[in-house]
Structure formats: structure tokens, C-alpha cells
Structure 1
Amino acid sequence: MSARPTPHHRSAFRVFRSIPTRWADNDMYGHVNNVVYYGWFDTAVNALLIERGALDVHHGDTIGFVVETQCNYFAPLSFPQTVEAGVRVAHAGSSSVRYEIALFAEGAETAAAQGHFIHVYVDRTTHRPVTLSAALQAVVDELRG
């Protein structure tokens, strides 16, 4: 059995996205439900890719399929609170990228939760893997951790 991960420090990330919590994010225990964290992972990464011109979700020839995901939880988050999502790239292959995301309570130095997901980039029509585009590769290079 492997040792439990420890929370990342804010300094391990260069790119952040603020995400406000919503009333509906809280579960009956008064904190954000675990499934919401995965939505924040998707939001942090895909919004960044769209803003940087590396992903066109409506008309682009390439789309990303999530093939693996994981999250560790260290401290609760709850509404009303702003979450700051740090994003970095841990590994990139010719058609896949492992994104690591840490979620921080606004201003906190250590992550309340952290995890990763792996995108395999595929042709929108054939769903066959494709080489990372130049625009995507530029974002990957910017986010390498």
C-alpha cells in the first residue's frame, strides 16, 4: 500500500483559475460534494485550453477524451467560498496529456484537494488519437510542472 499523498503547495503551480462555489455544490453535510471537484478539474483545464486557442469544443477537428481521473481530499470546501484551481502538466506524450489540478480555498497555501486527469486527444469524427497540435503543445509547454 502506498503512502497517503500530501497536499501540494500553491507555489507548485503557475496558472490559476478562480471558481466561485454555488449553493447547489454543498451536500447535506454542509461541504462541497466530491463529484463537484471533478467538474472543477474539467473547468480549470478546458477553460484554459479554450482561452489560449488550443481547443475549439464546437468546431475543432480535435477533442480530448478523459481516460483516467483521480482525486485526493485534504480539507473541506463549502459555499460561499471561492476556489482557486492551480493547473500544471505532469506528462505529455504524442497524443495524451496528464493534467494535475490542485484546489485551494481562496488565499490558502496548501491544497484542499488535488488530483489529475489524462486527456487523449482524438479526431472528432474517427475518435482515433492524433498528435498534439502546435497550439496545444504551446500550452502544454507553459504548464509543465
Structure 2
Amino acid sequence: MSRPQPEPRSAYPYFLPITTRWMDNDVYGHVNNVVYYSYFDTVVNRYLVERGVLDIHQGQTIGLVVETQCNYFSSIAFPQLVHAGLRVAQLGHSSVRYEVGLFADDEPLTAAKGHFVHVYVDRGSRRPAALPQALVAALEPLRRAPG
């Protein structure tokens, strides 16, 4: 298996700027690793809310994170601005694999990149549910080309 490498901004079709906060830094002077996962969550859910396909309070279908992973290449620290890039690697019957690249300020390559998988379930039963058509349509522009 080859070692993951940083990627350019062109690998991601959607970006969300996220302001780092003083409390994001750890005692080593950089953003703590657990905060990166909150950035992942923020970019995905903001995208879904903006497109009207995530109703966090009353939606019948909700996404549960079942897998997550991150590779770190360089540090991010307060007061840098993070640009979170988003793409979709896979759309299944009831699941989506989102991939996120985090860029510090105007850097051309990812400081970190990772993924998480949402399995979409019925809010009440928590059983897998087919991806709603509106969600699929909203995610199509983010699909990563095979290869």
C-alpha cells in the first residue's frame, strides 16, 4: 500500500472556509487532531443544509457516521483560516463516502485529508434507508471521477 500524499485544491469541487479558534490549538501549538474531524463534519453538513437536503430536526432520513479516517501532512494552527474541500467518492444504496481535504490559509496542498462514511437510516427505526433522490441530486456535482 502506498503512503497517502497531499492533494491540490483542484481535487475538490466545493470549499468552505472555517475559522480556527484559540481553543482548537493543543499544548503543542497546533490544532489538535480531534478538531480535524469536526471540520470534516462541518463541511459535509453545511453543504447538505445549504442544498436543503438535511433537516437536522425533522428529516425522516438521517446520516450516521460509521467510518472515519484522517492523514496529516502539515500543521494547522490558530489563527489560520482552514479551507475545507469536499468531494464524494462513492454513492451506495444507503451510504455515502465523503472525502475532505483541509488547506491552511492559501496553501496549494492539503495539510490533512480524510474521509467519513454516512449510512443513511430512518430516523425512527435506525434501519438503513435508501438515499433520498434529492440527496443524490445534491451530491452528484461532488462526485469524484473514477480512477
TM-score by length of 2: 0.96
Q: What do you get for the CA RMSD once the two structures are aligned?
A: 0.6
Question: Where has structure 1 moved over 3 Å in runs of 4 or more?
Answer: none
1:3 equivalent in structure 2: 2
SS in 1 for 2:71: strand
2:87 equivalent in structure 1: 88
Q: Residue 36 of structure 1 aligns to which amino acid in structure 2?
A: V
Per-residue displacement from partner, 1:29-88 (whole Å, max 9, x unpaired)?
100000000000000001100110111011111110101000000000000010000000
Per-residue displacement from partner, 1:12-38 (whole Å, max 9, x unpaired)?
111000000000000001000000000
SS in 2 for 1:56: coil
Any gaps of 5 or more consecutive residues in structure 2?
none
2:126 equivalent in structure 1: 127
Q: How many aligned residue pairs are there? A: 144
The equivalences for 1:58-97 within 5 A come to 58-97=57-96
Shift of 1:127: 0.4
CA distance in 2, matches of 1:59, 1:107: 38
TM-score by length of 1: 0.97
CA distance in 2, matches of 1:117, 1:8: 17
CA distance in 2, matches of 1:29, 1:124: 40
CA distance in 2, matches of 1:140, 1:50: 12
SS in 1 for 2:67: strand
Shift of 1:3: 2.1
Any gaps of 5 or more consecutive residues in structure 1?
none
